[in-house]
Structures are given as structure tokens and as C-alpha cells.
């Protein structure tokens, strides 16, 4: 995979490093139009873009790899802590930390967030919430947008933003350019992890990702790590990833394909993976792409 489309967004970037080496000084984000203003993440109140910047960020996944990890102190040490959907901290502080600076939430996770309103919303009014979804739900007349208006009215101090449809289309193009695959044709959805990783690259000088496995991890069929560190579900992470990667009937995420892109970006940008700890493999010589599991 290449980062050609990433590099198109900022003409002032220096040439990308040679494929066989990782840069000693990783590149800054090509999406960031200025150090503080993040276009495409718009306030539900006045449609103004998000103004935020962090030197270091902990991007905390929902993976079962975090259970028993004891990474909470490391996670909270970052300037900003980014979480996803309804992933809780209460009862898991030792492994995932206590702080939340920003939370990215999918339209499909709205009800779960509302069910845990006290812990995720009312006690977190100093956090930024960024919601994403299709235009039918996120437009002024959309059901999710109306729910967000209700939340904002009930909790006026809450910082609520949505990803604009223009931004959504842009990130669709990034996926197609990076993978050579049109997600619409393959009847798949980009995951919350996709939007969160891109926001983290825009927002942070350094991104430490906790709980994200390498693209090759699930090639070993003996892994029994749960999909989430919380909740009663007994779904295994690799079973979920492989099922979605191979799915052909629509409504799937291409988790493994996305991780291949993230690994490619980490060879250029300041992204580091922990729990499990891994470093992206160097691409094969004379190769600009990585094979993807069937069905992607």
C-alpha cells in the first residue's frame, strides 16, 4: 500500500521515506489545514470546525487485549486520550485508564451510549464527542442528528461534533486510494476505528495505539482473545475480523484491510502500537500493495 493520497493533501510535505526505512522524524498530518482548526468536524451548535491539538495521544481501542494489561497509567500519561463508541473506563481503569479527552461514536452505537449516559456523557462534559453516520441519519432532519440536539439541550456543556458529509466522502476516497477498493462496490462500511485513526493523525503529533493487532495477527487460528474488554459477549476478536473481512452480503467492516492501511501509515507518520506491541513490517521490494483476505 502507498500513502500517495495522504501526501496529496499537503503540498508542503517533504518526499516520503524510502520503503526500506522508517523515518527518524515522522511526518506531520497532511490533513491538518492549521495547527488548531480541524475542518470537517463541525459543532452541532454553530457548525464551526473543531479547534483542538495534542502533542501526544493515546488511542484506546475496545479490544480484549487490554484486559489485564495494566496499561492504564501509560494511557493516561498522554496529553489527550481518545476512545471509541461506548467503551467504558469505569471498572477497567487499571487497564484502560481514567481520562477521556475525545470520543468518536458511530451512529449505530448511539443507543448504547445513551444507555450508559451517566458514565459516558453526564460525567464527561469536559470531553469532546465526535459522531459519524450516513447523511440520511446525520442531516438536519435525520434521526441521529435530532437525538444529538436533544442530548445537547439536556447537557448544554457537552461538546458535540459531527463529521460532515464532505469529510465522509473525502475519507471514502482515502480508503479507495489506499486499497484500490471501492467500499460501496464491496458493500462494506468504514469502521469507527478508521475515522478515529484519521482524526488522531490530524489531531496529534504522536499517536500511541493500545489494543490494535497487526494485519497478520489473525493468520494464527489459535488466538482466543475476546472482541471487547468489556461486556458479556463471548465473541472472539479474530472470528469477528475474519467474518467481516470475508463478508459479501453488505453491512460489513473490512477490519483487516484497514489495519493494513494503518500499518502502512505508521511507516510514515508518528504512530506506535502497544498491547500487543508490534512494528509494521517493511513492504516487499518492488511491491506497493499487500494482499487482502478474500472478499475485501
pLDDT at position 22 is: 45
Angstrom distance (rounded) from CA 104 to CA 140: 20
All residues at 6 or more sequence positions from 93 whose CB lies less than 8 Å from its CB, including other chains: 72
pLDDT at position 4 is: 46
Please provide the CATH number assigned to the domain covering 4-8+37-274: 3.90.1480.20
Of 2-16, 42-56, 180-194, 247-261, minimum mean pLDDT range: 2-16
Q: Where are the domains of the chain?
A: 4-8+37-274
Of 129-133, 267-271, 286-290, minimum mean pLDDT range: 286-290
CA 196 to chain centre: 2
Could you tell me the three cell numbers for 215? 494485519
At 228, the pLDDT band (50, 70, 90 cuts) reads very high
pLDDT at position 8 is: 38
Judged against a pLDDT cut of 80, whether residue 287 lies above it is answered with no
Angstrom distance (rounded) from CA 177 to CA 162: 24
Give residue-wise pLDDT tens across range 70-119: 999 999 999 999 999 999 999 999 999 999 999 999 999 999 999 888 88
Bridge partners of 104, per DSSP, are: 84, 130
Q: Residue ranges of the alpha helices (H) in 134-234?
A: 135-138, 143-154, 165-179, 192-203
Judged against a pLDDT cut of 60, whether residue 155 lies above it is answered with yes
Judged against a pLDDT cut of 60, whether residue 24 lies above it is answered with no
At 275, the pLDDT band (50, 70, 90 cuts) reads very high
Angstrom distance (rounded) from CA 193 to CA 213: 12
Task: State phi, psi for 222 to the nearest 5 degrees.
Answer: -90, -5
State the DSSP code for 283. Answer: P
pLDDT at position 13 is: 30
Instruction: Return the percentage of the chain with pLDDT > 70, whole number.
Output: 80
pLDDT at position 180 is: 84
At 249, the pLDDT band (50, 70, 90 cuts) reads low
Tell me the average pLDDT of the chain.
Answer: 83
Angstrom distance (rounded) from CA 93 to CA 88: 9
Judged against a pLDDT cut of 70, whether residue 12 lies above it is answered with no
pLDDT at position 29 is: 53
Nearest CA to 203 out of 38, 88, 47 is that of: 38
Nearest CA to 172 out of 277, 270, 254, 241 is that of: 254
pLDDT at position 1 is: 46
Q: Which residue has the higher pLDDT, 234 or 141?
A: 141
Amino acid at each position: 500500500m502507498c500513502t500517495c493520497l495522504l501526501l496529496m493533501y499537503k503540498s508542503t510535505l517533504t518526499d516520503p521515506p524510502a520503503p526500506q526505512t522508517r523515518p527518524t522524524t515522522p511526518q506531520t498530518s497532511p490533513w491538518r489545514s492549521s495547527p488548531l482548526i480541524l475542518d470537517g468536524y463541525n459543532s452541532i451548535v454553530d457548525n464551526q470546525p473543531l479547534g483542538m491539538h495534542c502533542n501526544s495521544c493515546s488511542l484506546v481501542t475496545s479490544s480484549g487485549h487490554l484486559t489485564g494489561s495494566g496499561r492504564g497509567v501509560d494511557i493516561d500519561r498522554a496529553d489527550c486520550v481518545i476512545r471509541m463508541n461506548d467503551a467504558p473506563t469505569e471498572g477497567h481503569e487499571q487497564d484502560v485508564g481514567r481520562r477521556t479527552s475525545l470520543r468518536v461514536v458511530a451512529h449505530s452505537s448511539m443507543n448504547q451510549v445513551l444507555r450508559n449516559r451517566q458514565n459516558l456523557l453526564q460525567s464527561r462534559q469536559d470531553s469532546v464527542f465526535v459522531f459519524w453516520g450516513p447523511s440520511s441519519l446525520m442531516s438536519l432532519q435525520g434521526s441521529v442528528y435530532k437525538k444529538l440536539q436533544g442530548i445537547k439541550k439536556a447537557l448544554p456543556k457537552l461538546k458535540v461534533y459531527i463529521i460532515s458529509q464532505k469529510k465522509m466522502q473525502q475519507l471514502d476516497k482515502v480508503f479507495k486510494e489506499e486499497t484500490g477498493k471501492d467500499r460501496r462496490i464491496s458493500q462494506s462500511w468504514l469502521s469507527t476505528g478508521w475515522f478515529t485513526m484519521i482524526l488522531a493523525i490530524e489531531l496529534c503529533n504522536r499517536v500511541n495505539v493500545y489494543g490494535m493487532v497487526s494485519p497478520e495477527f489473525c493468520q494464527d487460528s489459535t488466538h482466543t482473545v475476546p472482541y471487547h474488554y468489556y461486556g458479556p459477549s463471548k465473541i472472539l476478536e479474530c472470528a469477528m475480523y475474519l467474518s467481516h473481512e470475508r463478508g459479501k452480503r453488505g453491512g460489513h467492516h473490512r477490519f483487516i484491510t484497514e489495519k493494513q492501511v494503518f500499518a502502512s501509515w505508521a511507516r510514515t507518520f508518528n504512530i506506535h502500537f502497544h498491547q500487543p506491541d508490534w512494528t509494521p513490517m517493511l513492504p516487499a521490494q518492488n511491491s506497493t500493495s499487500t494482499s487482502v483476505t478474500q472478499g475485501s
